[in-house]
Amino acid sequence: MNSNPLKKIVTLQKQGKAVGIYSVCSANGYVIKAALKRGMQDNSCVLIESTANQCDQNGGYTGMTPMDFKNFVNKMADEIGFDKSKLFLGGDHLGPLTFASLPEEKAMLEAEELIRHYVGAGFTKIHIDTSMKVADDDANTRLSDETIAKRGARLAKVAEETYKKLLETNPDAIEPVYIVGSEVPIPGGAVGGADDGVQVTKVDDFKNTVATFKKAFLDNGLDHAWENVIAVVVQPGVEEKDSGCTEYDREKAKELMASIADFPELVFEGHSTDYQTKIKLRELVEDGVGILKVGPALTFAMREAVFALENIEKELLADADVKLSEFSKTLDEQMLKDTKYWSKHYKGTDAEIKLKRKYSFSDRCRYYMPTEPVENAKNTLINNLTTYGIPLNLLSQFMPIQYTKVREGLLENNPEALIMDRIINTMDEYLYATHQKELI
């Protein structure tokens, strides 16, 4: 078997070294290219993950299967010359998530096929998540740890079988590592957007998750697969809100964090780490969270950059005989045309909801970026600013950090380079925390 380099996270953590990795949970092209570009600059590895609702055997909401997503990422890696031996692809919340309206057997058969597609495409970090109820589960009874673990082991068995089959055509294929547990909001963000008080995972709950999953794996002859379980998802007490985030508090999480010492083969995986400061992110890694998931914060930075460029366009070309992009207007029109990706998440008055559609940290507008009208508006913006140029005084006004880099000769003054560099500002906070260049 070809051992997975991500296991080094556990090795280094158990040696007392504050080393981890941040996971780019996004299908946005600018975000992915920025991660690869920054990885080249930092001479570090890059982990990019797709969620079960983004990409599945039926295409997901992106229209991509796992293999399509892999090809999408690899094409960008090849375009910029990124060493793909340093690139890891992960599948997030893989299980019956998008098939939960079906009865158990049908939902699990679909989940098995989902796992086959991810592992068969060569994804090497697999988060098995069977925490959600399916149609014939009792709506009024908590899903037991035993049921969750039993379903998880069933999917792990399919993953192991799929990997062995993959080796027949690709003998160099890296074996997958597994993440279990789901002490987090549903993929895409918590519903409602309110701060209801994030609860740190209880130590007993964490330990019971490990024990039940281990028993289920071993009962099904999955001893080797259990050896490749490197992390358990817990809630260390972090979550983004519409206009802020619940910050990591070491004191509140100290008992949970201390408990990882009882498991020499495991680290924690933390979801929803978006908008934590670089200091808080480093504390999370120091305390045992070896994998930091980030998604909305990256597309938020991308959206922020595009809005800034639109402001430059308006100032520069207000009196010119040229069609303006009207990017922000077009984006909001698309969100109002189809409300399914944000209506359950944004609460308040009409004025408050209007503000959240554009500026909420949960960044629900990311779901509308791939729509044709928004894509066309973005292309018009890029073309206008490429044709007419971006004056330094306007760049200083609307993108001061990028202005400084342009003046110092560190960054090209073109729209797409500016967008990616704004995203890199956020990625740099994670690189400060993870020291992930030590993994390769």
Nearest Cα to Cα of residue 94 among 29, 23, 165, 178: 178
What is the spatial distance between Cα 340 and Cα 261, in angstroms, rounded to a whole number?
43
pLDDT (tens digit per residue) in 5-27 = 999 999 999 999 999 999 999 99
Nearest Cα to Cα of residue 289 among 246, 251, 252, 248: 248
* Confidence band of 195 (pLDDT split at 50, 70, 90): very low
* Confidence band of 168 (pLDDT split at 50, 70, 90): very high
- The per-residue b/e assignment along 128-137, b for 16 or more CB within 10 angstroms, e otherwise, is bbbbbbbeeb
pTM of the model: 0.95
pLDDT (tens digit per residue) in 414-440 = 999 999 999 999 999 999 999 999 998
| Rounded mean pLDDT, 46-56 | 96
What is the spatial distance between Cα 225 and Cα 237, in angstroms, rounded to a whole number?
29
Tokens of 246: 């619940």
What is the spatial distance between Cα 279 and Cα 137, in angstroms, rounded to a whole number?
42
Handedness of CA 214, 217, 223, 228 (dihedral sign): negative
pLDDT (tens digit per residue) in 379-408 = 999 999 999 999 999 999 999 999 999 999
Tokens of 212: 């039940």
- Where helices occur in 265-295 by DSSP H, the ranges are 278-286
